[in-house]
Amino acid sequence: MPLPSMKDVEPRELTLETEFKFRCHKGVKCFTKCCRSISILLTPYDIVRMKKRLGISSEEFLDKYTYMEFDEKSSHPLVRLKMLDDNEKKCPFVTPEGCTIYTDRPANCRYYPVGQGIMRKGTNDEPVNVEFYFFIKEPHCLGYQEDADWTIKSWKDDQEVSLYDDMNREWKEIQLRRDPFGKNLDSNKQAQIYTASFDMDRFRRFVFESRFLDIFDIDKEEIERIKTDDVALMKLGFRYVKYLLMLEETLKVKEKYKKK
């Protein structure tokens, strides 16, 4: 999904029952134009799905198809999809026939032309994370002229995006939370968070080849799962990131390693 400018975002609050008309298909003149000169933020679950679809490691995927940047406010590492180095800056997975990884496309692509975000509301003592939606209406997009009726909910169901929401929610909530001491992350911590969030295959090696399992008390069944299950490993990664950021005591340190 493109990173929208404010002029492309319709300024009204949407609910799951908000109605709209939209359809994208090869017959519309703008077909695949939304896949050019865009900025697509990838989530950990996006990467799990895409690297598995391509049959490559997370390291290969990240090196070939992404670039890293740092959030200005939190200094957290983020990953964006790298566009082709051509005049149109096309997505590397788009062809005149459409998306070559369509069934494993990222969440932002699934949502388009709806945008989805999360914000933190309430007091510091009782914060609440609230998900919200908005329309992205770009000048080139003719899909809104098509006669297909949707609600936000029916669009989400059709695009099978609720699974992505469930998988990405914990990671998104981490992005809303700041270092309790108000400091930017050092480069070592940024590297650890990047690996635990995005580079699943490297993180798996770290878990099994370092002192990780000696230090942290991880259930034996979970240890068996994370040997082969990237989603289980991803969720362990979220817990590790929270531990690194001192947001929650999500990992239990074994007694012999506790500070006296």
Distance from the Cα of residue 21 to its chain's centroid: 26
Confidence of residue 113 (pLDDT cuts 50, 70, 90): very high
Residue % of the chain over a pLDDT of 90? 77
Which residue blocks in 115-198 are alpha helix, DSSP H? Answer: 152-158, 162-176, 187-198
pLDDT in tens, 50-108: 999 999 999 999 999 999 999 988 899 999 999 999 889 999 999 999 999 999 999 99
Confidence of residue 166 (pLDDT cuts 50, 70, 90): very high
pTM of the model: 0.90
Average pLDDT for 208-229: 97
Q: What pLDDT score was predicted for residue 1?
A: 40
Q: What pLDDT score was predicted for residue 9?
A: 56
Please tell me the distance from the alpha carbon of residue 87 to that of residue 64, in angstroms, as a whole number.
19
Distance from the Cα of residue 72 to its chain's centroid: 17
